[in-house]
Chain A
Amino acid sequence: MQDTLSFVARFVAALPHSQALGMQAETISEGLAVLTMPYDARLIGDTETGVIHGGAVSALMDTAASVAVLSHPAAGGIMATMNLRIDYMRPATPGQTLRARAECHHVTRSVAFIRAVATDDDESRPVAMATGAFTIGAA
């Protein structure tokens, strides 16, 4: 299992779009992933407020969810996002690193279901939450 997990960590580091957004894997265990994304002025969604664009938060959630699916013992192999719903609860505080914690809570032969939460420094008040389904197994 350790081999699988270090493979997954290397996998995150090799995703060009995730790399461009500065994402890093913080914790990976079976069916669970915590990824961080540092604040970056290029990702601002509104110059008036300096708040990171929702699209960048989506990318972080999607990547964390993918990693949670990949690291689940019953999944593995080829995988693609089928749907992802994100609720934006509050603007992320400018200047703070975002952290997404994704959990793959159920896996069938062909579908993996995930839940994810994104927070900034104030972990008691989530910035966004996501639920989604991923196709797994042979394409």
Chain B
Amino acid sequence: MKRPEAVHVVKQRREALLRGLVDGVPYISFLGMRFDRHGDELTAILPYHDGLIGNPMLPALHGGATAAFLEVTALIELAWSTLWEGVEAEGAVPGGPLRLPKTIDFTVDYLRPGLPRDAYARARVNRSGRRYASVHVEAWQDNRARLFAQATGHFLMPTD
């Protein structure tokens, strides 16, 4: 049996892949988003800042900020899960820029107002074909079971 790779080598490679994807999307840093990675599981985090507020009277997160957070989470999860297997098999992140899927449509359900505090999201790829993918994403704040928004989107996969 092949000897398992050293843990730091594995972590460096996976972090490099994630960084490669995130760095290709400047809008992620505009929102102030980041991703936590545990093995192949990604959790998107949107740390609260005043620039995310829609109505300052309530105050509540802007519906557009919530939609953007969900869409970015779905997109990065899709690209990540598509590339994961190849990168693990090759033992290296592909050279050159990583090509991202394109959103075809995106539907957001707002379940309760987004509170002025950190938000979290995880996406699940329900169908991934050669050309199209369908991704569902859920977002919560204080309680994982009490979603404040969910969304489904269809994406066009990059062609080689």
Q: Do A and B come from one complex?
A: yes
CA distance A41 to B106 in the complex (A): 23
Say which one of A24-32, A51-59, A104-112 lies at the interface with B. Answer: A51-59
Which 7 A-B residue pairs are closest in the complex by CB-CB distance?
A59-B64, A55-B68, A17-B62, A53-B27, A81-B63, A58-B67, A62-B64
Cα distance A18–B104 in the bound complex, in angstroms: 24
C-alpha gap A3/B70 in the complex (Å): 36
Q: Which residues of chain B (1-52) have a CB below 8 Å from chain A?
A: 23-27, 29-31, 50-52
**Inter-chain contacts of B102 with A (CB < 8 A):** 88, 91
Q: Bits for A62-81, please: 1 = Cβ < 8 Å to B, else 0.
A: 11001000000000000011
Total A-B Cβ pairs within 8 A: 130
CA distance A16 to B102 in the complex (A): 28
Evaluate contact between A17 and B106: CB separation under 8 angstroms.
Answer: no
Contact between A84 and B108, CB atoms less than 8 A apart: yes
Binary flags per residue of B60-89, CB closer than 8 Å to A gives 1, else 0: 111111011101100000000000000000
Binding site for A on B (CB under 8 A): 23-27, 29-31, 50-56, 60-65, 67-69, 71-72, 97, 99-100, 102-110, 113
CB <8 Å contact, B71 and A87: no
Q: A45-B25, A62-B67 are in contact. Are A15 and B108 (CB under 8 A)?
A: no
Contact at A18–B62, with CB atoms within 8 Å?
yes
Q: A42-B29, A55-B72, A86-B107 are in contact. List 19 more A-B contacts (CB 8 A).
A: A15-B54, A15-B55, A16-B50, A16-B54, A16-B56, A17-B53, A17-B61, A42-B26, A46-B25, A46-B100, A47-B23, A52-B27, A56-B27, A61-B64, A80-B113, A85-B105, A86-B106, A88-B106, A91-B102
B106 in contact with A54 (CB, 8 Å): yes
- In the assembled complex, 15 residue pairs joining A and B whose CB atoms fall closer than 8 Å, in A order, are A14-B56, A16-B56, A17-B61, A20-B51, A21-B64, A45-B26, A53-B68, A53-B71, A53-B72, A54-B103, A59-B62, A62-B62, A86-B107, A88-B104, A91-B102
Contact of B30 among A42, A54, A86 (CB under 8 A): A42
Bound-state Cα–Cα, A48 to B25, Å: 9
Q: Which residue of A lies closest to B68 (CB)?
A: A55
Q: Is the CB of B27 within 8 A of A16?
A: no
Give CA–CA (A6, B7) in the complex, Å: 60
Shortest Cβ distance from A112 into chain B, in angstroms?
13
Are the C-beta atoms of B26 and A54 separated by less than 8 Å? no
CB of A60 within 8 A of CB of B64, answer yes
Which residue of chain B is the closest to A129 with respect to CB atoms? B105
